[in-house]
């Protein structure tokens, strides 16, 4: 059936009017940032074709992204870099990106619907929903915005580091990515604490050779 506005309507019955869906993209990849998005939709917003971003094609995500940005009351994105992921771990980096997305909303939310993750010490109430991107229209919208935003960042990284073909796999641990990682060694946007990258770095260190670390371009903006 796809996501509905059941959770949003429940929040409105409790008196909330600026209900933000919050989701992320990029927890699993071996390279690149994790990106979170916050989306506040109007009451009883209908978005034909909307679903969890992983369930729809790239072209459909791009189309829905434009629809969401046009129809939403507010949309914001937050990013946590691969260096921050390595420093604090992927879950805490995801929370950091989510907090940055919330802080960037031009219309402050008064209630949050979050996909699976919990955020502590919030100034407003929140509800964490398991598989929320499949159940809540606001979370599904945030999922699409986060995914499209991150994919576009990875396209830019592809041009900076073409040896890894980020255009194809967007940093996920596909067979092709693992082969290119083994061939070229990690680049500056690889997550050094993630096992396949860490193993190559350990092997390079044991062999006495340097890992390949090109200068990091300013591509997070």
Q: Give me the sign of the Cα torsion angle 157, 163, 169, 171.
A: negative
Task: Supply the DSSP symbol for 18.
Answer: -
**SS3 state at 135:** coil
As a whole number of angstroms, the distance between CA 24 and CA 63 comes to: 19
As a whole number of angstroms, the distance between CA 66 and CA 147 comes to: 13
Q: What is the pLDDT of residue 31?
A: 98
Burial of 198 (0-12, 13-18, 19+ CB in 10 A): middle
Q: Where are the domains of the chain?
A: 6-152, 157-207
Q: What is the pLDDT of residue 14?
A: 97
Burial of 88 (0-12, 13-18, 19+ CB in 10 A): middle
Please state, in angstroms and as integers, the Cα–Cα distance from residue 135 to each residue in 5, 112, 115, 126, 219, following that order. 8, 14, 9, 16, 33
Q: What is the pLDDT of residue 214?
A: 41
Residues 67-115: tens digit of each pLDDT: 999 999 999 999 999 999 999 999 999 999 999 999 999 999 999 999 9
**SS3 state at 144:** helix
Question: Which residues, other chains included, contact 183 with Cβ-Cβ below 8 Å and sequence gap of 6+?
Answer: 163
Mean pLDDT by 10 residues, the chain (221 residues): 92 98 98 98 88 85 96 98 98 98 97 97 96 95 97 98 98 97 97 97 63 42 39
Q: Is beta strand 126-129 parallel, antiparallel or unpaired with respect to 111-115? A: parallel
Helices 137-160 and 58-71 sit at what angle, rounded to 10 degrees? Answer: 120
Contact 96, 88 (CB under 8 A): yes
As a whole number of angstroms, the distance between CA 172 and CA 184 comes to: 16
CATH of 6-152, one of 3.30.420.10, 3.10.20.30, 3.40.605.10, 3.90.180.10: 3.30.420.10
Other C-beta atoms lying within 10 Å of the C-beta of residue 9: 13
As a whole number of angstroms, the distance between CA 178 and CA 197 comes to: 9
């Amino acid at each position: 059936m796809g996501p509905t506005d059941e959770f949003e309507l429940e929040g409105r019955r409790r008196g909330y009017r600026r209900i933000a869906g919050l989701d992320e993209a990029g927890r699993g990849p071996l390279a690149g940032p994790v990106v979170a998005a916050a989306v506040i939709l109007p009451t009883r917003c209908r978005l034909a074709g909307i679903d969890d971003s992983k369930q729809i094609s790239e072209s459909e995500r791009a189309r829905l992204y434009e629809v969401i940005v046009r129809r939403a009351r507010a949309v914001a994105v937050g990013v946590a870099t691969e260096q921050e992921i390595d420093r604090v771990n992927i879950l805490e980096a995801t929370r950091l990106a989510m907090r940055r997305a919330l802080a960037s909303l031009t219309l402050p939310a008064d209630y949050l619907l979050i996909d699976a993750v919990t955020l502590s010490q919030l100034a407003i109430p929140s509800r964490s929903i398991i598989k929320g991107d499949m159940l809540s229209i606001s979370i599904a919208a945030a999922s699409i915005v986060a995914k499209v935003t991150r994919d576009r960042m990875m396209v830019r990284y592809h041009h900076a580091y073409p040896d890894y073909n980020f255009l194809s796999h967007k940093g996920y641990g596909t067979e092709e990515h693992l082969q290119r990682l083994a061939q070229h060694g990690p680049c500056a946007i690889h997550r050094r604490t993630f096992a396949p990258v860490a193993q190559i770095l350990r092997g390079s260190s044991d062999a006495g050779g340097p890992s390949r670390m090109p200068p990091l371009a300013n591509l997070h903006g």
